[in-house]
Structure 1
Amino acid sequence: MKLTEEQIAQYQKDGYLLVKGFCSQKETNKLYKVALEDEAMSKNAMDLNDQSGMKTKLSLWFKPGNDVFGYLTRSEKMVNAVGQLLEGEAPVCHFHSKLMQKEPKVGGAWEWHQDYGYWYKNQFMFPDQLMSVMVALTEANKQNGCLQVIRGSHKLGRVNHGFAGEQVGADMVMVENALKTMDLVYCEIDPGDALFFHSNLLHRSAANLSEKPRWSIISCFNSQSNIAYSETSTAWKEALDPIPDEAILNWEADSLSQADFLKKENDPALKDTGWE
């Protein structure tokens, strides 16, 4: 896969890029099946309360393995697209991946934030060399709490962040001013679609009050030239060796039981540093 010049320009202008059908229906079905059935996902899920007390649930791990999600992370189409969008020419590295699990009626909100609002605590130097890619495993719409973004807000630079419930939330005065200045976009997407977004893009998602789940896999990437001075994992500096896209469907895959999952108590972003 190779992004067009128009797609790259759109990402640079808006701070995000939607690629329809990034994963085929068969690939998406397999990813979702593993997400549901691999016990490692549920055993290592973390609950984070939003400001209303509703819970968001995610499972987060660092090094991509020989499991189906590792194959997606290391696929040629993923690594090539990320490499075109990250600043600089350094090799692409995988920081972490997370399975987002918003269950019907009970799945909580994610408050307004920038990913770099979290990753600043890892002391990454250059936000232009960090990005996230969300692949929808189920339909995402306004009813089940799809991602909302403020178009162009990545150009604000890092906004101050504090705590919002158990989450890290952006300064709401700046958020409200950004909403007066730039467009709010609801990213309603179908299973298999991929949303690439900049680490400084302001985004949130509402609680899932619908009858249907909203699940997605989000892989976060870093340029090898971007140093993290306060991160204990090493995945962020290990260059990815791309593998054929066909691996997702055709290669034998391991369970995620060996993955290096993050425990809630070890997340530096959730610790009070004194400057929040």
Structure 2
Amino acid sequence: MKLTQEQLQQFQKDGFLILKNFANPKLCDEILEKAKKHLIKKQAPIETEQEYMSLNEDKITVRRLRQVYDREEIFQEWMTDKEIRPILKQILNDTPVLTLAHHNSIMTKLPHESTRTYWHQDRRYWHFENDDLVSVWLALGDEYLENGLLEFIPETHKINFTKACFDDADNFLDENEENKKIIEKRTHQNLEKGDIVLFHCKTLHHASKNTTDEAKISFVYTVRAKSNKPLKNTRSDFKEIVLD
């Protein structure tokens, strides 16, 4: 499968693109079943709400399952899906490489216990020669504002923000007057099982907490262009999979 020229131009303009009904529902169900088993066990490595928010609590609320590529074959099957490779190659204009150091994750928004994910750019996680990385977000069920749907701010991948726009954790400051004007341009589209979102690592995005009674569980991984090398002796200099 390949993007139409219109779709490619939309991604380049906005910094994100939604593809409806991309993944097979049966595959999504199988991924979700396996993910729930790991979540129930709180199987390491994980990221918790408590550590993310710097809360000194004994309670553990899973925010994400990390390093999922090596957990289950069905996870590997999705992350190396042959149908999406031509699309990623189009966007990157190069052979895509699956980087396993970051965003190799099952993401959760647990009911009532999850916290808001602040506006941010994913570039804060990585150390590559340039910031042209693309994430693939898979909805394993319905996603909407009340359960923590991702919202995006179009065209922010093209803006070179100053450090004053962010706090010490690289969250985009809501109270900054210039930032407020940018946040007003936020947009969202509800997702259903099998929908994917492709987004540039500099595109600002956030998600509210889950106020419903059901968990929202999603899958995200990230690719780089083969020519965009990780910087040596950084956390990005890690195991990778070339998607020829």
Q: What TM bracket, shorter-length normalisation?
A: 0.7 to 0.9
For structure 2, the 5+ residue unaligned runs are none
Cα separation, 1, equivalents of 2:109 and 2:130 = 31
Between the two proteins, the alignment pairs up a number of residues equal to 229
The residue aligned with 2:26 is 26
Q: Name the amino acid aligned to 1:225.
A: S
Select the residue among 99, 122, 128 that pairs with 1:124.
128
Contact persistence 1:159–1:171 (CA under 8 A): no
CA shift for structure 1 position 51: 5.7
CA shift for structure 1 position 9: 0.6
Cα separation, 2, equivalents of 1:63 and 1:36 = 15
Select the residue among 62, 71, 80 that pairs with 1:74.
80
CA shift for structure 1 position 232: 5.5
Q: Name the amino acid aligned to 1:17.
A: L
CA shift for structure 1 position 211: 1.3
Cα separation, 2, equivalents of 1:30 and 1:139 = 16
Q: Name the amino acid aligned to 2:81.
A: S
Contact persistence 2:153–2:204 (CA under 8 A): yes
Matched, 1:108 2:115: yes
Q: Please provide the CA RMSD for this pair.
A: 2.5
Q: Name the amino acid aligned to 1:177.
A: K
Contact persistence 1:159–1:170 (CA under 8 A): no
Structure 1 pair 136–41 and aligned structure 2 pair: CA distance change class (3 A): farther
Cα separation, 1, equivalents of 2:5 and 2:19 = 14
How do residues 110-259 of structure 1 correspond to structure 2 at under 5 angstroms? Answer: 110-119=117-126, 123-128=127-132, 130-157=133-160, 160=163, 161-164=166-169, 168-172=170-174, 173=176, 174-180=178-184, 183-229=185-231, 230-231=234-235, 233-236=237-240, 238-241=241-244
Contact persistence 2:42–2:62 (CA under 8 A): no
Q: Name the amino acid aligned to 2:48.
A: D
By percentage of residues, which structure has more helix?
A: 1
Contact persistence 1:63–1:94 (CA under 8 A): no
Give TM-score, length-normalised by structure 2: 0.84
Structure 1 pair 63–225 and aligned structure 2 pair: CA distance change class (3 A): farther
Cα separation, 2, equivalents of 1:62 and 1:235 = 13
Give TM-score, length-normalised by structure 1: 0.75
CA shift for structure 1 position 3: 1.3
Contact persistence 1:62–1:94 (CA under 8 A): no
Contact persistence 1:56–1:110 (CA under 8 A): no
Structure 1 pair 75–149 and aligned structure 2 pair: CA distance change class (3 A): same
CA shift for structure 1 position 235: 2.9
Cα separation, 2, equivalents of 1:132 and 1:107 = 22
Select the residue among 58, 83, 96 that pairs with 2:64.
58
